[in-house]
Every structure is written in structure tokens, then in C-alpha cells.
Structure 1
Amino acid sequence: MTHTDDKTLDELDRFLMSDIMSENTMTIEMLDGYLTAIAIGPTTIQPTEWLADVWGPTEDDAPDFESYEQAEHVFGLMMRHYNAILQTFEADPASIAPLFSVNEVDDGDDPREYIDAEAWANGFFQGMGLCWDDWQPLLDHPDAEQWLRPLRLLGSDDLDDEERELVSQPAERETLSEQVPPAVARIYEFWLPHRGSTQERLLAQTIQRDAPKVGRNDPCPCGSGKKFKKCHGTDDAQD
């Protein structure tokens, strides 16, 4: 099986939490869910289509990279994680290890940690939203409600009072979080006949050029679609 190494995840987490990032930027848990939906969903989505949303909903949320090298390095970390997610599903869907938050609850003299997949589920739904219409065959499946239930209860803001009660306690949220990996594995299996090969997806998501990887006339790795020199490669952005 293939999982992203801790060094890559730690470095990516530190960058996403750094001072140059917008408060709207995805956390590492949200990013993991987001990339998982992109990796296992119905269609291949190019980085230029999904990267900008990592930083936040507006162009102003994109980070001011210190250099070409930093921009490409951060993008490389994301791609390494994306590829590891895809390869893990291909090798053994039951072995996936989503990155869930851990919340410590101080219950008198017995503090306890509970896992919580809220951020992960939120990221997964954002990934689905990139091509929502393409997900319709899954949504029409008779088992879709069951597969998506833990994700929806944890990651959706559109819950009725009865559903909110189901996620009101840390222990209940942990139980739902434990249901997420097998549910996502079923979603992956559903899309297998519809998707291109894993190798095609890996190639579609991999930059093949040798260093220097980003030139001033190349697309900015922030995902804006602009040339680097017109975006985060400007003198103002470098200051």
C-alpha cells in the first residue's frame, strides 16, 4: 500500500497554517478530503481547475509565494499527496487512512480524544462540487444515501434539528467518522467502471518538466490561470 510520508504531510500542514495563508485556506484535513474526491470521482480534473480553491474562494486568498521554487515545491507536495491517495485506493481501498481532526474533550478527571471527520467531509464535498453534474449517477444509486450519510451529517450545514442532534456529541461524531473510510471505499468502487486508468490520472496531474519548473511565462502555481510574472511572480508579490 502507498501512503503519503509524514514529512510531506507535516511540511504541507505547516505551509497551509503559515502566516502568508488566508484564513479561508483549507486545512490539511480539508485538503485530504478535497483531493480524495478529485482522485476517486467520475472524471479527471486538472490542477488548474482545482488548485485555486485550496487557497480560498477569491483570488485575494492566494498566497504570496517567496519565489518560483517555493511555489513549485508546495504544488509538488500536494501532487505527491494526491498521487499517494490514488495509488492507495488502487492497491487496497480498505487500507485508506483519511486525515481526520482529533478533538480533546475534558470530561472531568477523564479527558479523552475523539476523532472528527467534519473538516475532511467538508473538503470532500467541495471536491464533488467541482463537477457536481458528473456525480449524478452516484447520487441516483439506491445506496447513495447510505454511503454519503456520515459525510453529509458531518460535513453539511444543511441539517434539520433531528440530524443536528445526531452530531451533537463528540462520541457520536466519532462513530460517524469511523463510518467514513468504508463509505468512501464503496464510492471508489462505484466509479471504477466509469473512470480512466489510474496511470492516466497520474500523468494528467504530474508536471513532466525538469527544473527550473516555473518560469515567469509559465502559469502561476497558485491556480489563478495567470502567468507567474503577472500573478505571484511580480515584484510586489515578492516583497
Structure 2
Amino acid sequence: MNTPKSEWPSSLDDAELEVLDTYLRAHGGDGDLMLDGLHGLLSAIAIGPLEVKPEEWLHEILHDAFEDEDEGNRLLALLAKLNDSISAELDVDAYEPILGEIDTEEGPMLSAAGWCEGFSRGIDMRAQLWENRLAEDPTLMQLLGPIMALAVDEGVLQADAEFEKLTDEEYDECLGQLPDVLNAVGEYWRQNAPTEDELAAMTRPRVDGDEGPPRQRSGHWVH
């Protein structure tokens, strides 16, 4: 089902995305998520095994107190709207990843690096659940394959074995699969909800030594 962009439920328009983009660039430092990373973070949360409330993920995005109350309320409303839009867009086959732009010898090129970094941080919000299931069920790792390939290609994740860079065609193919991947992973967690033991493990402190399991491109970008 392909729904026209103008009919996407709860989606931000270009002007609203520009407001978020401008704010994040003005207030972000090295290592902070920009608009593409924010979208990746919220995408991981939307399909994850357990709810992550806004008061948790907002700390990954907002690092300074708002100087103006009206501006703060506007930004919070846009963040909530973007968060709500992801599940809605996935439901109607209208999801596109928000990508960043990098400069290359051939000129500007869209990159999934920021989106992948944000997605990784979204997983980290419920790290023990993801890590436990990834270690025990190869199905989940297989479903995440295209995201893993992009993340390793962009240096967001480290591969255990030597990894050959994706060709442009392979990179585009992985990007094109993202909506299906997100839907499949979301369905996986709906069908295989965390067990009582997995939920109980979240309340236990991690022990030192605990380990988890181990770039003209399609997508949506606002400059």
C-alpha cells in the first residue's frame, strides 16, 4: 500500500523538519545526534521489545535548557510528532530513513552513518533485552542483516571478520530494505515478547566482562 506523502499520518513537513535540524545543529556537540541520528534512534525505539518513554530518550537529544519557553514547547511538540510518525508511516508503507550528507570527491552524497548511529543508541536504551535475544536467536540477527551491513560499512559497528565495503548498488539495496526490516523486527518482538526472565535480568546490574553480540543513495534528507 503506497500512500501519498501528503497523506502520511502525523508526519512532519519539510519546514518542521528544518526547525528540528537547525536546532540540533546549533545545540549539538561532537558525538551528539543530529536529525538523521534522531530518526534512527526513534526508529529503533518504535520497533523495540519494550516501551521507551520520552523522558528517557529525550536525554539523548536535548542537552541544554531551552532559553525560551515557547521555543521549548515548539521543539517538544515536533519531537513528539516525529516520534509518532514513525509507526504510522511503517503501517502505511510510507517510511523513509532520514539521511545525512557527506562530502566526497564526486560531490555531496547521502549517508546512513548518522541514522545507524541513532539506531544503535536506540537499541542501547533496552540493551540487555536486545543483546540477550541476539545472542540466543539467530533469526533476529538475520532480520537485522541490512541494518548491520550499513552500520559496519559506515564504521558504526565493528565486524568480527574482515568486511568488504558495500558497493553503491549493495548500499542502496540495504537502504531500500529498511522499511521491510523495521516492520519485520517489530513483528518479531510482537510475536516473541520478552520473557519474565529477560525482564528480570534488566533489574540486575551488569557485571564487568559482560558482552553483547557483536554510504546518490535513496532515503529522505532535509538540509
Q: Give the alignment's TM-score, normalised by structure 2.
A: 0.69
Establish whether residue 26 from structure 1 lines up as the match of residue 33 from structure 2: yes
Contact 1:36/1:124 (<8 A) preserved: yes
Give the structure 1 partner of residue 144 of structure 2. Answer: 148
Q: Give the alignment's TM-score, normalised by structure 1.
A: 0.65
**How many pairs align?**
180
Contact 2:37/2:118 (<8 A) preserved: yes
Q: Which runs of 5+ in 2 are unaligned?
A: 1-7, 194-223
Q: Which runs of 5+ in 1 are unaligned?
A: 56-61, 196-239
1:38-187 alignment runs, 5 A limit? 38-55=45-62, 62-89=63-90, 91-92=91-92, 94-103=93-102, 105-107=104-106, 114-135=109-130, 138-139=133-134, 140-155=136-151, 156-160=156-160, 162-163=162-163, 165-167=164-166, 170-187=168-185
Provide the aligned C-alpha RMSD in A.
2.6
* AA in 2 matched with 1:42: P
Residue 4 to residue 188, structure 1, CA distance change in 2 (3 Å): farther
Q: How far apart in 2 are the matches of 1:137 and 1:95?
A: 31
Give the structure 2 partner of residue 223 of structure 1. Answer: none
Contact 1:97/1:181 (<8 A) preserved: yes
Percent identity reads 24
Residue 147 to residue 193, structure 1, CA distance change in 2 (3 Å): closer
Q: How far apart in 2 are the matches of 1:87 and 1:181?
A: 12
Q: How far apart in 1 are the matches of 2:133 and 2:95?
A: 20
Contact 2:101/2:110 (<8 A) preserved: yes
Q: Classify the secondary structure of the residue corresponding to 1:179.
A: helix
Give the structure 2 partner of residue 216 of structure 1. Answer: none
1:79 Cα deviation (Å)? Answer: 0.6
1:25 Cα deviation (Å)? Answer: 2.3
Bigger radius of gyration: 1
